[in-house]
Every structure is written in structure tokens, then in C-alpha cells.
Amino acid sequence: MHIPDNYLSPQTCVAMFAAATPVIALSIKKVELQIKEKKETIPMIGISASLAFIIMLFNVPVPGGTSAHAVGATLLALLIGPYAACIALTIVLLMQAFLFGDGGILALGANIFNMAIIMPFVGYFCFKIFDKFNYKKTGAFVGAFIGINMAALLAGIELGIQPLIAHTAHNQPMYSPYGLMITIPAMLFAHLVVAGWIEAGFTLAVYRFILKVAPGELYQNAKTTSHKSYNIGNFFKKLLIAMIILCPLGLLTKSTAFGEWDAQELKNMLPNHLVPSGISHGFSFNAIFSDYAVSGLSDVSGYMLSAITAVIILYLVSKIMRNHYHAK
């Protein structure tokens, strides 16, 4: 779901940045108020962001030769609220793009809109509907499933409209070469059939555990439950360590996610082997740990080191945030 650079026209990139910016600005204001009421929000943003980053390392195969992954956006919204989840996921997407080359720099607006805005807000909205009838667990499961599929639908639309809005005089696509009749079914199939169930299952499992042992740590209960019955920080530390150890399982999936191919992969796939000019001659950015690989290390070691590096960076970001708000 991480749209790379050169798959979206400049006009689309600008429009998606314009759409995402006011939501990010509003989320920052909302989170500032949330922090004043609950200081623990800051470290939880760092923990939640780390959790989302590592979840996305677990690529799974999709029938048809592509791959997909969960995101954890609705789970983050349940833990720290949709606005804080939006900020946490935005930080993750920025780090993925600039440090690991996962998702485009120019396409950041679209990726943030899809994964950091649509996914947590839609997921949490669905949860609240079920919560009104006291079906919290069902709401967590359904919200996570719908949230990730709504984001997938939007990504499919953004990719699929490119041949309509950006093409040569000979009707050759300049960016994403596939139209809506291909991109929407492909994106939805991957997430309706595979990734959505993983997203929903993981969200429900963690939510059920926290609801049982530490309900006061959930965003919706923050103002109504004051006692702490469980050290939730230790739980997440153990969970993150376990996921870091297991994350190389994501390397078992060799296929590339739909719409995330490099120019050579795309050339081999297209019938005429003619790569759109915007992709073959577009913007290029070389990340330090591109594709979560580290020079001189094995794929497994590089993958785990990338996960550890990300967790350390996110911890430092939360420390900086804490010092900033304590200084106010």
C-alpha cells in the first residue's frame, strides 16, 4: 500500500498533500490537548508507532503473485485515540520513506492520507458504532477490517486514475500504467482476502488482552478508569521484542506488493515492455537502508537491524516530544 514515487502525477501528489495537511494540523492540536490531560500519551505514541512499523515488516503472499501487510492503524486508534494514531503513523511513514525507501517522498501525501488518516479514523468510527451496542470486540475486529480496506480502495483509485489524467498525445500512461478496472480489484483483493484478516485478527487479539488486564489504558476508558491493574508498558516491550525476533518471516515473501514495482519489474510485466516515462525518468531518492537492507549484513540481520533502528529512533522522538511538552 506504500505508493512509490513516480506512480502518481505531480498534480495528484500536490492534491493529496493538500488533503492531508489540515488533518495533520488538527491532529497535532488535538494531541496537545490530550497530552495535557494524560502525560502517558507521549510514550504511548512512541510505543504505538514502533508497533505499527514492525507490523508492516510482516509481508504475506497474496494469490496472483503479489504481497500485502497489515498496518495496525485501528489498533493504534483504540490505544491512543485516532488523532494520536494519525500522528504516530505519519511519523512512521516519514521514517519509512526517508530512511528505508518504503513509499515515495513525493507520494507521502497520498500514503499519509490513506494509512495515517483514513485507516485509523474510519476504523475507530466503525468501532464506536458497535460500541454503542456494547459489542466492543466485534467493533475492534470490524473496524480494523474496514479501515484497511478503505485505505486500499483509495490507493487503488489514486493509482487507477493516472492513465486518465496523465498520458501522452498517443494515450500512453505517463505514471501508473493500470486503470481503475485493474487497480481497484487488485488492491481490494489483496486486503479483503489476506491482509484485512491479519489486520483484524491482530487488532482483536491485542485489544481483548488489554481490555481484560488494563482497560484504563484504552483511549475510550482513559477518563473513566483511573486505576492501573497491569503494567502495559512491559507488555508492549515484550511484544515488540518478540515481533523484532520474528520479523524476518516477512522476508519469506519474495513477491512485490501491487503497484510498488521498480522500473525493471514493471518493464518485465508490461506486454509492450514500455515503462511509462514518468517512472523511467522520474524522481529518484536513495535511502540509507533501502528495502530494509544493510550493506555487509545478511538479509535477516539487516531486516532485524532495521526494526531495532526504527524502534530506537521512535523512542528518541518520544523523548524529544516529552521534553518539549514538559518545558512548556
Question: In the beta sheet, which residues pair with residue 67?
Answer: 61
Whole-model pTM: value is 0.95
The Cβ of residue 32 has, within 10 Å, a number of other Cβ atoms equal to 13
Residue 30 confidence (pLDDT): 96
67's grid cell: 504481497
User: Looking at domain 10-327, does it have CATH number 1.10.1760.20?
Assistant: yes
- For residue 203, give every residue at least 6 positions away whose Cβ sits within 8 Å of its Cβ, in sequence order, or none: 72, 74, 75, 78, 140, 141, 143, 144
The rounded distance, in Å, linking the Cα atoms of 175 and 260 is 12
Residue 250 confidence (pLDDT): 96
Q: How far is CA 309 from CA 19, 144, 236, in A?
A: 31, 27, 17
Residue 40 confidence (pLDDT): 86
CA dihedral 301, 195, 178, 110 (to 10 degrees): -80
Residue 223 confidence (pLDDT): 61
Residue 271 confidence (pLDDT): 87
**Average pLDDT, 10 consecutive residues per value, the chain (328 residues):** 96 98 97 90 94 97 94 97 98 97 97 98 98 96 98 98 94 96 97 98 97 89 60 90 96 94 92 91 92 94 96 94 77
Classify residue 56 by its DSSP letter: T
Domain ranges (residues) in the chain: 10-327
Residue 217 confidence (pLDDT): 87
Residue 188 confidence (pLDDT): 97
The rounded distance, in Å, linking the Cα atoms of 90 and 202 is 21
Contacts 24+ apart (CB under 8 A), 318-325: 318/42, 318/43, 318/45, 318/46, 318/47, 319/46, 321/42, 321/45, 321/46, 322/42, 322/43, 325/32, 325/35, 325/39, 325/42
Between CA 291 and CA 282, with CA 111 as vertex, the angle to 5 degrees is 65
266 membership: H or E segment, kind and range: helix 263-269
Residue 216 confidence (pLDDT): 86
Residue 325 confidence (pLDDT): 78
